[in-house]
Amino acid sequence: MFAQKLIVPAFAVIGAVAAQTTNSVCSQATATINSQADATAFASCSTISGSVVVSSAASGVISIDGPQQITGDLTCENAGGLTSFGSTSIGSIGGTFTLNNLTLLSTLSMSDLTSVKTIAWTALPALSSLTFPSTVSKATSVTISNTFLSTLDGINLDTVATLQIDNNNRLKTFSTQVSNVTSAVNINSNGNSLDVSFPNLIWAANMTLRNVSSITIPSLATINGSLGFYGNYMTNIAAPNLTSVGSTATGAGSLAFVANGKLANISMPLLKTVGGADQIANNTALTGISFPALTTVGGAIDFSGNFSTPELPALTNVKGGFNVQSTAQIDCSGFQSEAGSGKVIQGTFICKTTADATTLGSSTTSGSSSTATSTKGAAVSYGVNEGLMGLSVIGGLLQMLL
């Protein structure tokens, strides 16, 4: 009887110690994993209340199985010997999921992951694919840079603030169901044959695409800031439902098509307003320019290349200048009649056929060529963001003119 009285308290003490140990493991401010044995210590945790760091000493396979969520960050950097990383149980990460400079990491498997605050993956030269069968659909910010990934299957967001996909040379396709982008989309310097699709995207704050072979944006209606296409390989850019880019009230937000060597057609039939600049330059295959519904440009119009007379039949207000130069014969008379104080074109007017319109001249006098009947004219606001990089000559001229 006496022995039984001692045994019961002993079990109670053991249980209390075990509970305290488990609670301590699960609620550290920052827990460090050096090996799989360290990762296994979290098996009894349903939640890790803090952040987890996989140290640079970790190697081989690390799998954090048992916890369903991490409230803080999950970080793994400079672990040169790590070949496989993941979890069969983690469904959400409350902070930033960072993977950086993992030269041998070839397997990234997160079976249940659906929600992350921030994805920040850089310098993963051996990672060719993701094993995310549950699909990450919630994230505030996603940056995926300098990886060996050929696809981003497993990441399909509902909404996102910032989406940065760059320098992934093997990436062939990227498609996401995202409907709103509240800060910026930047897709830059990936594989030359990258096909990008945003089938449900309705509005975005800013959107920049470089080195892309095709873009699908059938639902896009509004860009609050700037929309730019630079150095791409697509033959066609179509935004059938786009009605506005930027804000005409503030003069912010540009629309730019620059150095897209294969671009032969731009189709934006419903576009009515551009807050800042409407710029088209150095698209060698583009022989026609038409914005049938465009009424207001808050900055200026700047077109240069080898195209016929631009068609801008609805234009009623260009707050900046008008600079149209083409190596093909264009008729400037209709545009010139709209230039001057109180007329459609309020800024400096330049319109001419040139021997080489890819290099803008410094003349501020109006010019015209005598060809077929022109269509109503149109005008580059300054303060164009990334779109004017590499076009300093154009930017410098226009700043002098306006």
pLDDT in tens, 43-81: 999 999 999 999 999 999 999 999 999 999 999 999 999
- Please give the Cα distance from 56 to 128 (Å, whole number): 21
Buried b (16+ CB within 10 A) or exposed e, 222-248: ebbbbbbbbbbebeebbbebbebbbbb
Scanning 245-376, the segments in alpha helix (DSSP H) are 333-336
Q: Does a structural domain hold residue 8?
A: no
Each residue of 200-211: pLDDT tens digit? 999 999 999 999
Under the banding of pLDDT at 50, 70 and 90, the label for residue 16 is: very low
Q: Does a structural domain hold residue 302?
A: yes
Q: Does a structural domain hold residue 291?
A: yes
Query: What is the total count of domains within the chain?
Result: 1
Q: Does a structural domain hold residue 21?
A: no
The CA radius of gyration of the chain, in Å to the nearest whole number, is 28
Each residue of 337-390: pLDDT tens digit? 999 877 999 999 999 999 765 444 333 334 433 333 344 533 333 333 333 333
Asked whether 315 and 357 are in contact (CB, 8 A), the reply is no
Specify the pTM: 0.83
Q: Does a structural domain hold residue 95?
A: no
- Please give the Cα distance from 64 to 112 (Å, whole number): 12
Domain residues for the domain of 380 are 223-402
Q: Does a structural domain hold residue 388?
A: yes
Q: Does a structural domain hold residue 120?
A: no
Which strand (E) or helix (H) includes residue 171?
Answer: none
Q: Does a structural domain hold residue 159?
A: no
Contacts 24+ apart (CB under 8 A), 163-167: 163/187, 165/190, 166/190
Which strand (E) or helix (H) includes residue 256?
Answer: strand 255-258
- Please give the Cα distance from 66 to 73 (Å, whole number): 17
Q: Is 399 exposed, middle or buried (0-12, 13-18, 19+ CB in 10 A)?
A: exposed
